[in-house]
Amino acid sequence: MTIRVTWKRVVLTLVGLGVAGLLFAWSGVFNISASSGHWAISNWFLHWTMRNSVRTHTLLESPERPIATDGQLVSAAGHFAAACATCHGAPGQRPSPVMQRATPHAPDLTTGETKEKWTDAELFYILKHGVKFTGMPAWAAEGRDDEVRRMVAFVRRLPGMTPAQYRQLSGEATGAGTTDVRALGGATLAGCVACHGSDGRGRGQSDIPILGGQNPRYLEVALAAYADGRRHGAVMANAAETLTAQERRALAVHFAALPGLGAAPATGGSAAVRQIVERGLPARQLPACASCHAPGRAQPVLAGQRAGYLAQRLRNWRAEEGEVDARLPQDAMAVIARRVPEEMIDPLARYLAGDVRER
């Protein structure tokens, strides 16, 4: 017997399948428990869909090549120790047995499987946007591609890293950015020291700023802004959100009292650099650095700050997209940074840092 296919029968069949699916979902027969796992075909289909999605969407985003030196990965290592190692493991540390009972469970990033399976661009996309229905969150701060790039480089290093190297890089970040009781009391300072160093001079080459000698009020306000989302940064937001107002104030006073910042820029430097610092560039509507960052101002102290950090921050502000309202304090630097000539960023950063050697 031949069954004639008509549009009416096709539509009725599709409607019938949809109704059957709804009835199946309504019945509650499907087992949603994590302990039951996925059917093999469901597991294959979901991972196949994910790989295809990541590959396709990666074509639309071309991140810069991730940095790869240890000195620029301190913040990524500290954040990983605080927020990622529980699920993904670390050198000398198995993933949490509790989190491994999730469906699907997070991959162990120390095995090398992830390194072989995903390209840098694909890892960048996954870390930045997360993955639906897996528990893998998107990066906690929008517009911080620099943080994501550092984490890509760090994840790439994990499989070949020894436990000692991991502890050294992460600063044994006990309590850094955790959301449990370790982030309170005596562990609070230990968490900050893991990245910023016991001397307040920072443990990285360009990703960690010098805090010693900084304006204490500025540090306190910055911590509060990270905690409530007014200032974007996944690493610092994760570390600051559990701090009380009293803890923020105590930390600000502690680090500000350490030696470090505040010295006047070294003598020398080109006339063009000194003009930007002292008088600005009126033709470009660029105000002088000293007009806001002089001693006694509410803005941060720049003199003596690490040159790599200053240059990186200026370039990050220049790269932000969208309209920026210069009247808003948190957005003013994005406008100002775009008015600094690109060729002057590194000389300006070195001059403020007190390093005016020719490069």
Residue ranges of domains in the chain: 70-170, 181-256, 271-353
What is the Rg, in whole angstroms, of the alpha carbon atoms belonging to the chain? 25
| pLDDT value at residue 64 | 64
User: How many Cα neighbours within 13 Å face the side chain of 131?
Assistant: 21
Q: Which CATH code, of 3.40.50.10470, 1.10.10.60, 1.25.10.10, 1.10.760.10, is assigned to 70-170? A: 1.10.760.10
- Residue 97's identity, in one-letter code, is P
Spatial distance between the Cα atoms of 244 and 246, rounded to a whole number of angstroms: 5
Sign of CA dihedral 113, 117, 121, 127: negative
The answer to whether 292 and 303 have CB atoms below 8 angstroms apart is no
Cα(284)–Cα(60) distance, integer angstroms: 33
Show Cβ contacts of residue 47 under 8 Å, excluding neighbours closer than 6 positions: none
Q: Are 34 and 101 in contact (CB under 8 A)?
A: yes
Please check whether the two domains, 70-170 and 181-256, share a CATH topology.
Answer: yes
Cβ proximity of 111 and 179 under 8 Å: no
pLDDT at 168: 84
- Whether residue 183 contacts residue 177, with contact meaning beta carbons closer than 8 Å, is answered with yes
Rounded Cα distance between 146 and 161, Å, is: 22
Q: What is the DSSP letter of 208?
A: S
Three-state DSSP state, 136: strand
Separation of alpha carbons 125 and 152, rounded Å: 10
What CATH superfamily is the domain 181-256? Cytochrome c-like domain (1.10.760.10)
Helix axes 120-129, 40-58, angle to 10 degrees: 100
131: helix, strand or coil: strand
* Helices 245-256/187-196 angle, 10° precision: 50
pLDDT of residue 48: 93
Confirm if 313 and 207 have CB atoms less than 8 A apart.
Answer: no
Along the chain (359 residues), what's the average pLDDT of each consecutive run of 10 residues? 78 93 90 85 90 91 66 87 90 87 88 84 93 90 87 91 88 46 55 86 84 92 91 88 88 90 70 92 91 83 91 82 44 86 93 68
Q: What is the pTM of this model?
A: 0.78
Which pLDDT does position 183 carry in this prediction?
A: 39
pLDDT at 112: 81
Pairwise CA distance, residues 222 & 284, whole Å: 29
What integer pLDDT is reported at residue 358 of this predicted model?
39
- Enclosing H/E stretch for 272: helix 271-278
Chain centroid to CA 353: 24
Q: The domain at 271-353 falls in which architecture?
A: Orthogonal Bundle (1.10)
User: 124 CB contacts (<8 Å, ≥6 apart)?
Assistant: 58, 61, 63, 66, 148, 149, 152
Query: Which ranges of 158-210 does DSSP label H, i.e. alpha helix?
Result: 163-170, 187-196
Torsion of CA 314, 316, 317, 319, to 10 degrees: 120
